[in-house]
Structure 1
Amino acid sequence: MGIIKKIGQAVKNSFTWSNENDSWEVISLSDPKGWEIPRNNMSEITYYICLKILSESIGKLSIHLKDGEGIKITNSDINYLLKVRPNPYMSPTDFKTLMEFNRNHYGNSYALIETKGNKRVALHPLDPRKVKIIVDDGKLLKHDATYVYEYEENNRKYFFEDKEIIHLKGGLSRNGIVGKSVAEELAGTIKGAVEAQKYLNDLYSRGLTANAILEYTGELNKEKKKELVRTITEFVRDRDNGNIVPIPLGMKLIPLDIKLTDAQFFELRKFTSLQIAAAFGLKPNHLNNYDKSSYSNSEMQNLTFLIDTLLYILKKYEEEFDYKLLFKDEVEKGLHTEFNVATILRGDLKSQAEALQKYVSTGIYTPNEARSYAGMPKFDGGDVLMVNGTYVPIDDIGKAYEKGGEK
């Protein structure tokens, strides 16, 4: 990759870490000693839905650069990266969606900050499976940073200081340095869900017919047994036969009557799906499960989703962007990044109209700000805050009833 530059001193292959000098290495997912994400996890529908919802929820939220008074800053290279184009290949939505996908699926997401002088020019996502974090507590590397990121591309290793890499952690980190994916934490649960889907697919392929025992008299060698089973199986799976299976004289086909309802198959699948969704911080309604809720209270469900799930994730993004993207003098001036969560909290048209009316009448929004929120153009004279003319300062309450305005 042309944008990757080599910095610092390469770690020799013979270099070892030991607990005696308090230096240690955090294993990446791609390392043979690490935990490898199973490839078939994405085929599990609940796991895929959870990844999709979280990734798209972060991707659709706009993020702004603001000053200490909360005013948006538009003439900044940071604003261009976050709102227009983080790199030549991705839109901001694609970038945020990919970062959130990597954070959840692999446990960590990384992006290289490309700079030219004091200008930040691009954000390039890195493959999490090719990244290692080397913690240098023993100061054995010639770096000022406490830890460095090692990235391997085309059999070459590159090393970056922590300020050069945006690092978003997933799950519950054990050490605060690397995250852990939900797939790693729930490996057994997700594997069970995958196996359940395989069983159901196999049942469909057999025309929803259960396993059976073929009873016959006499002796057959191994090859003849296989041929007999193959012939009967072909008749069972052939839809043109009208579910009629011819059995030779003297043989009897006894189905094994294992009912899915008796095994509580669907109840167990539903419970497993809810467990996986809960691990991601998603509610049953995200899985189209409205047993204890309804579609009509979607506004309250969105508020719950924002408070219980998204706020923590958004705070991670904002803190990482503020520390890695902004220079020290910019932070001291009060500059910060902030997600706009208003799109999540929007209700129906009636609720929006009532809220905007209250904001304007109480002097929180100007009429033009309310019109902009509703997607309408501004008008002259609409940038003035307005309140009810009968309002008076709290210290002046009652003076209107005093004679001459004096005691």
Structure 2
Amino acid sequence: MSLLDRLFGREKRAAVRSDDAYLAGFFGQRAGLGAAVDPARASGLSVAHACVSSICQNLAAVPLNLYRRAEDGGRERASDHPLYGVLHDMANPNMTAFEAREVLMASVLITGNAFARIEWNGRGQVAALWPIDPGSVAVERLPSGRLRYRVSTGAASSEVLLQDEMLHLRYRLDRSGVMGLSPIAIARETFALALQQQETAAKQAANSFKPEGALVFPSPIAGQQRQQVLDQLEAKINATNGTRGVLVLDGGTDWKSFSFSARDAEFLESRKLTNLDICRVWGVPPTVVGITDHATYSNTDQESRALVVRCLAPMAKRIEQAMNAALLTADARKSLFIEHDLAGLLRGDMAARYAAYAVGRNGGWLSVNEVRAWENLPKIDGGDDYLSPLNMTAAGAEQGERGE
């Protein structure tokens, strides 16, 4: 701590790079299998990559709109606000809104934290968002309780951003309440096992799944003869031509294997179980990432809905509240709010949608133009009228008419 920090009582708390395997091991984040889990390497597992991609791409694809509260309690899109274009079209001059949101969500799911520098215009409105590598950001808590971000911009230079200048998304708060926890670090034992299994499979494939064992002779043999037999055996096993790899053992010679086959060790089943464990870490249904061992038409459809309800919806709420707090001032939050539109992911197939539209239309609480808007169709004249079912009236209305 510097002299000025001591004089003014400044308190700092710096973040540790979550993708540094050596620092992770130093702070007790080493896996029980003896290997440090690097989030960048663990996210390269095929199932882990599929889980992260599924969440990121689905959430980045759905509309993230800025709404304005109406006087009648409804809402309308605030398309005239600069923030609407940042969230919906271009996050900054170099990144589309989809790309920026995908980068931020991937960072949250892998490292537990995502950062974006906020660019404000002269009217106090957000004009752009610039994603930042989380490994270059250190977070400091000031005595006032607010946060300050020190961003490394070079070998010996850094930039300091205040809390109002940074969008900080966090997966799960740590004990200090400052940084988010990486899902990979939380479930590091699962990912360590998956990485070990992948390395084992790679070693077997690199060795062309060649057997390891011993030749057992009924009687002792000379050293020169032993070496000659080993050379012949190695030449047969390593032969590229399949017919030359046939081995004939005579004189009572027996072969004792030192290694288990993948089937005997249940290696393939163990990898399948590990893949399911990785899906559980992010709450992604197995069929979404291509694990279709027990998939049927009905449960695949249900798991697609489960992805939205159990995985995407909580993540969307986490992002919405963080953006509302960081991108809107206290006064602006009284009339504006940010929200994902997840309705498109829950609409189902055409038959189910049209049946639901018919219920709403015949019930009198949906108009033709509202239905056409959900189907991306233009409005029609007279489409804003609502139906009034003849067999449904307000309680007491019929008796009042008879009394008159």
Would the TM-score normalized by the shorter structure come out above 0.5? yes
C-alpha deviation, 1:299, in angstroms: 4.2
* Cα distance in 2 between the residues matched to 1:273 and 1:243: 39
Q: How many residues align?
A: 378
- Aligned partner of 1:28 in structure 2 is 16
* Cα distance in 2 between the residues matched to 1:25 and 1:231: 65
- Aligned partner of 2:388 in structure 1 is 387
- On the 8 A contact 2:150/2:161 being kept in 1, the answer is yes
- On the 8 A contact 1:135/1:146 being kept in 2, the answer is yes
Cα separation, partners in 2 of 1:40 and 1:16, compared to 1, 3 Å? farther
What letter corresponds to residue 274 of structure 1 in structure 2? L
Q: Secondary structure at the match of 1:377?
A: coil
What letter corresponds to residue 271 of structure 1 in structure 2? L
Alignment of 1:160-309 (within 5 A): 160-171=161-172, 173-213=174-214, 217-219=221-223, 235-242=236-243, 244=245, 254-256=256-258, 258-290=260-292, 294-309=296-311
- Residue 368 (str. 1) matches residue 351 (str. 2): no
What letter corresponds to residue 206 of structure 1 in structure 2? N
Higher mean C-alpha deviation, range 28-37 or range 64-73: 28-37
Aligned mate of 2:88, from 59, 83, 87: 83
Q: Secondary structure at the match of 2:77?
A: coil
C-alpha deviation, 1:85, in angstroms: 0.4
For structure 1, the residue ranges without an aligned partner over 5 or more in a row are: 1-10, 140-144
- On the 8 A contact 2:43/2:110 being kept in 1, the answer is no
Can you list the C-alpha shifts for 1:242-270, whole angstroms capped at 9, x where unaligned?
46156899987543351323322222222
Q: Secondary structure at the match of 2:287?
A: helix
Aligned mate of 1:117, from 118, 122, 126: 122
- On the 8 A contact 1:77/1:121 being kept in 2, the answer is yes
- Aligned partner of 1:129 in structure 2 is 135
What letter corresponds to residue 268 of structure 1 in structure 2? S
C-alpha deviation, 1:279, in angstroms: 1.2
Cα separation, partners in 2 of 1:154 and 1:22, compared to 1, 3 Å? closer
What letter corresponds to residue 25 of structure 1 in structure 2? R
* Cα distance in 1 between the residues matched to 2:65 and 2:80: 12
- Aligned partner of 2:45 in structure 1 is 44
Can you list the C-alpha shifts for 1:75-132, whole angstroms capped at 9, x where unaligned?
0101010111011122111111111100011110010111221232210000000001
Q: Secondary structure at the match of 1:346?
A: coil
- On the 8 A contact 1:26/1:178 being kept in 2, the answer is no
C-alpha deviation, 1:212, in angstroms: 2.3
Q: Secondary structure at the match of 2:366?
A: coil
Q: Secondary structure at the match of 2:75?
A: coil
C-alpha deviation, 1:364, in angstroms: 2.9
Cα separation, partners in 2 of 1:230 and 1:330, compared to 1, 3 Å? farther
* Cα distance in 1 between the residues matched to 2:325 and 2:137: 20
Q: CA RMSD in A?
A: 3.2
What letter corresponds to residue 353 of structure 1 in structure 2? Y
* Cα distance in 1 between the residues matched to 2:231 and 2:313: 57
C-alpha deviation, 1:153, in angstroms: 0.9
- Residue 355 (str. 1) matches residue 356 (str. 2): yes
* Cα distance in 2 between the residues matched to 1:157 and 1:228: 66
Q: Secondary structure at the match of 1:123?
A: strand
C-alpha deviation, 1:307, in angstroms: 2.3
- On the 8 A contact 1:28/1:130 being kept in 2, the answer is no
- On the 8 A contact 1:232/1:245 being kept in 2, the answer is no
Cα separation, partners in 2 of 1:135 and 1:394, compared to 1, 3 Å? same
- On the 8 A contact 1:213/1:255 being kept in 2, the answer is yes
Aligned mate of 2:321, from 297, 319, 322: 319
For structure 2, the residue ranges without an aligned partner over 5 or more in a row are: 25-36
Q: Percent identity?
A: 20
Cα separation, partners in 2 of 1:289 and 1:252, compared to 1, 3 Å? same
- On the 8 A contact 1:30/1:130 being kept in 2, the answer is no
- Aligned partner of 1:70 in structure 2 is 75
